[in-house]
Structures are given as structure tokens and as C-alpha cells.
Amino acid sequence: MKSKYLLIFFILISFSYTFCKTTNTGQRKNINLNGKWDIAESFSGNKLPINFSHNIVVPGLVDMASPKFDSVGVKCTKRNYFWYRRYFKISDSIPPVVLLKINKACYGTAVYVNGKKVGSNFFCFTPTLLNIKDYLKPAGEINELIIRVGAYYDNVPDTIPVGIDIEKVKYIPGIYDDVKIILSNFPFIENVQIAPDINKKLIKIRAEIKSDKDMGQFSLDYSVNEYKSRKEIISGKTNQSSLSSENKNVVDFTIPIKNCHLWSPEDPFLYSLKLSTGKDTKTIRFGMRSFKFDEVKDRAMLNGKPYSMLGTNICIFRFFEDSSRGDLPWNSKWVRKLFQKFKDMHWNCARFCIGFPPEKWYQIADETGFLIQDEYPLWEGPKSWKTPKIKASVLINEYTRWMRERWNHPCVVIWDAQNESDTRESGEAVRAVRHLDMSKRPWDNGWGIPQSKGDCIEEHPYLFVRYLNAGVYPSKEGYLKDLFSVKTKPNFFNDANQYFPLDSGTYKNARDIDEYDWIWLNRDGSVTESSDSVYIKLFGKNLTTEQRRIIHAENLAIVTEYWRCHRSSAALMYFCGLGYSRPYGPKGYTSDDWIDVKNLIFEPIFEKYIKREFLPVCIMIDKWDKEYPAGQEIKVPVYVINDLQQEWQGTLKLTLLNGENKIIKTLEKNISVLSFGRDITDFDLTLPNSKGTYKLIAETLYKKDSVKSIREFSLN
């Protein structure tokens, strides 16, 4: 019995946090509540459980509990709720400010401290922030914290977004982001927004201060340091102002950053700003960078210069249900390696699609240098889906909470209001909240109408989807001719065209291709639910796994070079870099291209073909015929684009090979392409008189990397 009490004592001690002298130091303290918690299930949401017979690590998902619960993530009649329990104590005197922050949790959050309910939050993608001071026991005593989450998304009212996704099978609940207690004093710094101005070499700061009393004389101390070296750049005080105990206090000021070091994916240099009220401190990391779309030239502008956004999609909530997930999303080393693997593919951006990852992902994107299109998890789809329609008033609330969490991250360059939903509600919400962002980031409004001339139009040109239609087969000229010989611009899906009305006139918006593919393969090389019929119609039945992998890589490479070389959009993001793979029941519609997601090993054929398509120099043979008459003279146009900040010069080579890969003829031309320019070089080629299969390869070198475009055809 004695050993039992000792065990309980050590468990409680392991869950406690020693806090000392907060009231006099002027430094805020955090109690990190990540780690091991107890967890229980129940049908009722009103009565606290007595028996917590499982344990779990936070952050994570409920399917990670030990021992495991059955039927997690699906509608289950044995439970409606899961309950997390943890103990903590504050060793010294309890300060005036004691805030519990749960970064993100699904589905619906309620908080109990020492058996009493503190508050609740139905939102699943923004923080729960509650004042728990009045519920605490005296300093030095152990407090019990219980957090209840819904076991399934239907525990949340259908007026609240829950991330409905028709491709998902499971909606796994859990506290999937960090949990902490913030302890501090008044005046308390509630929120800080930093807006870099690289032209004036300064930062604009908006600090929200909460006070427990009226103060006639008040100023903030500040200092700016280089984040890595900790070298101080500047320090000082703001002008004196007054504080109110009743109203929100907003302090606006600027700080010069002389000789500022700009942040970019190629050079992710970070600074930190430290603010102090004398009783509270807050440190915020930021980067000096600007971002916008040039709607005239249809391109992104990073730090005042043209920048090609090339990247992929990350569907974290689809990955949450993937059989290989484990604890990977909460493993910082794995996440950092993931971003580096993407950068090795010459990708510089990603769209967080239909779901926000944990906060750590944004911090790592800041550090590694990755541009993020941050998409709010709203996908209502067409009317036939009958998904709940979310009102603008709800979205305004959520968008505001979302922006306040994310607006100091240099990685976040586009607010994305929704995915593939033709709704007026998101547009109304965007208009209501966009002024809050002092950095004036552009917005993507899914398939809704853009709300400003600086916003982008979301494009999902899934060209191969035409072959899903019954009776639609490739013409005699072949599917390449059908898909690529005419069209050079993607469609705005809901047919609102590329124009939208504003009081001041009509404007054209930059286009953003943030999804394309549709010839997906599962990680094992089998076809997905949505690509099965496409492979049968275009490439035949009974293909081997290797044949499918080659077909997928070759055709995805062609689509990539097609959109890149036609300069059809400011961004090109392949779908998808991380999602699920479900080759067996129920079969998934899409997939990523890993063969070992734990060790981040791409399928080698995919990696070989696609990696070269995202080099700064890209080429495309603009020839799509399936057959030619033997001996015919043809003109072969070859596009070359240059996404570098300087002119590029090189040798462009066109090689004709026969079916045995024997070189028949080689033509060469020296070319030069201006920065962010394009050159179209014509080669005159006389085809052989011998019938058979042949291959054209256009090739050049970017540094030591071979850049290629390949077309196969036959002579008759």
C-alpha cells in the first residue's frame, strides 16, 4: 500500500510545474502541459468521469491512447465524449493573470478546473483561451485540469465549421496542438501584430494591452534582436500613453530596422521583438519581407521582385487518418525533414489544404524558409453534397481568431478563405476582416469571387478529369493532342470568369494553380478510386506497377512543364505532397507519392521526373501529335522559361531517338532568356523514312542538373 501512495505522489509531481516569483519579476511564465495525460470516455457530457483507465500524449489524437479505444474517428454508439485529465500546481503566489491556452482541439472543447466548468469552445481550428485564476486552489496545492472533447464532429453544431471533407473516412478527435498555462501580471500584453515595411526599413507594431486599473502614464519597453545570434539591433521606449481598465488598449508605434536582412525561402532570416509593460513581457518572432500579386503580369512579388511560387499541398487532416501517421505530425525532426525534402524537390511553397497543422509546423516553415497558403478548413462543395452552409457571421469570428494567431509568421503569405466552395458567405467575411491584417496579405476565396484586385483566383485544372465522363475517350490524334494543343489557361471553375466588379472599376486577378494531377497512384503503385477509369481509357488494362509509375511520372511531368512554360499562373502547386494513401477499403480518391512516409522516401521514378520539372529553368516541347508520316519535315517549337533573378544562357539540344533509344539526329542552338522571361526556339526536323516508335528529347543544363522535355510518337 505504501508503494501505491508513493507511485501516486511521483505521478503528481511529474505533472506539476514549479513556478516562482512571478509577481515581482515582470516576466511572464508558461506552464507547458504537453506530455502524458489520463483519458476516459463517456456517453454523457455533463458528469465528470471517475475512472481514467487510459493514458495519452498531448498533443496528439485519441487513437494514440494506451490501451487503445475501439472505433475512434467514426460514429460510435458507446460514447459521445473523451475526457483528458492532468494535474499541475503553482508553487509561489498566484499572479493576477492565469490563462489556459489550448491551441487547437477537435471536436468541441470544454474545460473543468478542480471539478468546476470554466468554459467551452466549439471551434476546432483556433485556440481555446480561458481565464482559470478564480478556479485555482491556493499556491502550492495540486490542481486538477480536465478537458472534454467531442468524440465525433456531430458534437459540434452544424453552424460551426468542422472540416468536412468528402475524401475522409475518419474524423479523429483530440487535442492536436500545444496546451499551456500563461502566468503574468497587469498590464498584460494580449496580442501583438508586427507588419514589416521593407521599403522604409521599419516595422509597424500594434500591441493590445489589458489593464486592471486606469493608468495615466504608461509606455512599453522594446528591443529587437537577430533571432539566431541574439545580437541586439535596437531598443527603446514607446511614447507615453494612458491605459483604461474597461476598454481595449491599443498601442501603435514603429521601430526602424536599419540595414534590415530580408526573409525569403532562400534566406529565412528571422528577428525577435521583445515587449515589456514592466509587469509582463512578450517575445514575438518575425521576418522582414513583403508579398503581393501583380495582377497585370500574373505573378507573385516577394520583397518587391518577381517570384515563382512552386510547390505542393499538405492535407494534414487526411494524413491524420493515414495508417502510417503515428506520432509523425508532432515530431519536430520529422516535420523539419519533410520541409527540407520538399525544398530538395525545388519547391518553395505549400498550401495547407482543408486543415491547419499544429503551430510547430508554421514555426518550422519560418525557420526553413517555406511560403504558406493557409487555407481555412471550409469545403461546402456543390449543392448536391448537402453539407451545412456556414454563415458569414460565424466565419468573421473564426477568421479573426485565425488571423490573430498567424499574422506574425513570415511564412504565411496568402489567407485562403475556403476550398472549392461557391458561396457568398466567405466573401462577405473576407471583406469584414481583411483590414485587420496590417501586412495586407492577399486572399484566395476558393471558387467564390475575389474580393480585391490584389487577391488571387484559385484554379484546379484537372485536365485528365474529362476521361471520367462516360463515353469520352481520346481522339485519333491522341490524349496529349486533346489536352495540350489548344488550351493554355486554366478555367475559373464556377464560371465567374477572371473579372469581378468593384465600385472603382473592373480588374483582372492573378491566377493561382494550387491543385493539379488526377492520375494519382497509391503508395503501392495501384490506381486510386478517381484515377482507375482514366488509366484504363488512356493506357489500357493489366499494367504492371512499374508501368503505372512511369506513366504517372511522365504525364505529371508534362502537365507541370505545360503550366509552367505557358506562364498561366503566379503559383503552381502539385496535389499532393502529403495526404493519405488508401489502396484498400474504402479506396481513396487521391494519394501522395511516398513509398516510405516515416523515413520520407519518395517513389524514385516520381522524384526523378518531377524534381527536374521544378528547376528554375524549365523547358517544354510544344508538339503533341501521336503519329506522323514517315519522312515528313516538321517544325518543333521548344519553350524555355527562366525563373531566375538574372539572365540565363545555355545550349538547347533536341535529340531524336528510335524505339531502341538509339540516337538518330541531334540539333543544337545557343539561347539566352531574360530574367522571368520565356524563349520559344523552333527546330526544323526531317523525320526518318522508317516506320516505328520514336522519341524526342529537348534538353539543357541548369548548373549540373539536366532539364528535359520528352515526347513519344510513331511514324507510319
Structural domain span for residue 629:
618-715
pLDDT over 60 (residue 473): yes
Closest to 72 (Cα-Cα) out of 145, 149, 147: 149
Inform me whether the pLDDT recorded for 678 exceeds 80: yes
Q: Where residue 496 falls among pLDDT bands split at 50, 70, 90?
A: very low
**What pLDDT was estimated at residue 501?**
40
Task: Identify the pLDDT of residue 490.
Answer: 64
Question: Residue 503's pLDDT is what?
Answer: 37
Radius of gyration of the CA atoms of the chain, in A: 28
The verdict on 555 and 629 lying in the same domain is: no
Last residue of a domain, one of 131, 166, 184: 184
Q: Tell me, yes or no, whether 398 and 532 share the same domain.
A: yes
Residues 466 and 371 grouped into a single domain: yes
pLDDT tens profile 327-346: 999 999 999 999 999 999 99
Residue 489: CB partners within 8 Å, gap ≥ 6? Answer: 511, 566, 568
Q: 56 and 91, same structural domain? A: yes
Of the residues 127, 152, 184, which one is the last residue of a structural domain? 184
295 and 251 in a common domain: no
The C-alpha atoms of residue 406 and residue 353 are separated, in whole angstroms, by 16
Distance CA 32, CA 29 (A): 10
Domain boundary among 286, 319, 341: 286
Spatial contact of 700 and 650, defined as CB atoms under 8 Å apart: yes
Sequence letter at residue 50 = I
Torsion angle of C-alpha atoms 200, 203, 209, 214, degrees rounded to 10: -40
Q: What is the tens place of the pLDDT at every residue in 248-296?
A: 899 999 999 999 999 999 999 999 999 999 999 999 999 999 999 997 7
Does residue 368 share a domain with residue 421?
Answer: yes
- Same domain flag for 154 and 198: no
Domain count, the chain: 4
Mark whether 575 and 512 lie in a shared domain.
Answer: yes
Residues 408 and 485 grouped into a single domain: yes
How far from 498 is each of 505, 512, 573, CA to CA, in Å? 14, 12, 19
**Statement: residue 26 has pLDDT above 90:** no
606 vs 77, higher pLDDT: 606
Q: What is the CATH number of the domain that holds 342?
A: 3.20.20.80
176 and 304 assigned to the same domain: no
Give pLDDT tens digits for 554-604: 999 999 999 999 998 999 999 999 999 999 989 999 999 999 999 999 999
Confidence bin at 507 (pLDDT 50/70/90): low
pLDDT digits (tens, 9 = 90+) for 390-404: 999 999 999 999 999
The pTM of the full predicted model, rounded to 2 decimals, is 0.94
Residues 488 and 592 in one domain: yes
| CATH code for the domain of 200 | 2.60.40.10
Identify the three-state secondary structure at position 57.
strand
Residues 630 and 600 in one domain: no
pLDDT value of position 25:
61
Partners of 426 in the β-ladder: none
